[in-house]
Structure 1
């Protein structure tokens, strides 16, 4: 299913956090949101996974207005991994991952055989199956990140919303997670700070600045030297990646613009 954001605005205490944002993520595609700190990226994502009600605008999945659906139905359609998705209870990894099935269950219903296999496959894909019986409180930040992503995947959503999914991950796991998302066939809206990761992982990129969408298109169209200077205030040369041919940014460590 596609995800469509139409005219989304968020005003809090008289401050415009997001201004008239319209963005479409086609079915099975990955769209990245990038921008400086405070540009409205996470706020926009909170509206998509219904942690925040927008001041104006709508979010639609497959044509359905999410605000008109029950929370259960919305959670069946959209799964999220957030920056503040900490798990403070002393649960095991497999128990946390299994929580992803909650929108599909009633009460304390036990997992079916299919659901247990779904959880096992998600943990295997993300390299955390060996941690299944460990308490999440004993894990590193990167291990917890992969547990939370596994939980989102077993939700079997139509749309996956990710806020900095590579945060805390080492280079190997960053590449593995983004490579998995590229091949998963899910509709994905993801916030990334690393522009080179965004260029490698995303089909399209939207650039936010002061709450407004200032550019949208393919990585090659959007990630230009001029835009990086204007929006991020840094000097960068954009060169073809030697393996993929996509844009790669080489930053100058001189004074900021």
Structure 2
């Protein structure tokens, strides 16, 4: 296992946000976290990219506690695309993407030819190369999200952590981003609200409710009508995708009043 959450617990102001969470992520796997709002998904991710220190337990990278690594070493090995990843400064897109190389450079060291090519390739993959000279504050929410995803790729991490990365993206760019993740070979931990997208992209899924892991396994094992009803409080019909066999959830809004 590359990454392991070992009995992870997070408490704040006397409230348990994450409780005894244990989850393993193998090399090259995409592992998703799903669950209702407030179930602890983002809190758990913050422990992985060290924005938050666990109260109990640990996050292990190659069986080594992350807290034993320097911040720079962690940043070289784990990249994050977070919900709070925006910038209030009007850097250009190219400048924002280039920041992904910061953990690998010393001081104000200029980008070399290899770094510049990494940035160009990532901007091309995320369809933002044509925006390279634009100020990031002039972009739409979806365009900014793709710029931040490019920055994370440029970091060349072992582990990529993404918290609701499809927010603000149109359906084309949602599919392109998730397809890129599948093809990247990276080890990925991702929070998604769209259960159908989670079923399509994830090798394994962990379901959280009230801070605790209530189910873990492949999408076919986890995404059942019974679990969706128990965890999310809604009725869904689960059918296999006609091409892939992945579970797909069909919802009803109920009869009109």
TM-score interval w.r.t. the shorter chain? over 0.9
The separation in 1 between residues aligned to 2:6 and 2:200, in whole angstroms, is 26
Structure 2 segments unaligned to the other structure (5+ residues):
none
The separation in 2 between residues aligned to 1:210 and 1:48, in whole angstroms, is 19
**1:186, distance to aligned residue in structure 2 (A):** 0.2
* 2:154 counterpart of 1:138: no
**1:254, distance to aligned residue in structure 2 (A):** 2.2
Encode CA deviations 1:185-215: one digit per residue, 9 max, x unaligned.
0000000000000000000000000000000
The answer for the alignment partner of 1:62 in structure 2 is 62
The answer for the alignment partner of 1:49 in structure 2 is 49
**1:65, distance to aligned residue in structure 2 (A):** 1.2
* 2:92 counterpart of 1:92: yes
The separation in 1 between residues aligned to 2:64 and 2:132, in whole angstroms, is 36
The separation in 2 between residues aligned to 1:65 and 1:120, in whole angstroms, is 34
Alignment of 1:242-253 (within 5 A): 242-253=242-253
Encode CA deviations 1:68-88: one digit per residue, 9 max, x unaligned.
110000001100000011111
* 2:114 counterpart of 1:114: yes
TM-score by structure 2 length? Answer: 0.98
The separation in 1 between residues aligned to 2:74 and 2:153, in whole angstroms, is 15
The separation in 2 between residues aligned to 1:154 and 1:130, in whole angstroms, is 17
Q: CA RMSD in A?
A: 0.8
| 1:148 aligned counterpart, secondary structure | helix
Question: How many pairs align?
Answer: 255
The answer for the alignment partner of 2:123 in structure 1 is 123
The answer for the alignment partner of 1:40 in structure 2 is 40
Encode CA deviations 1:105-144: one digit per residue, 9 max, x unaligned.
1110000100000000000001000000000000000000
Structure 1 segments unaligned to the other structure (5+ residues):
none
| 2:238 aligned counterpart, secondary structure | strand
Runs of 4+ in 1 over 2 A off after TM superposition: none
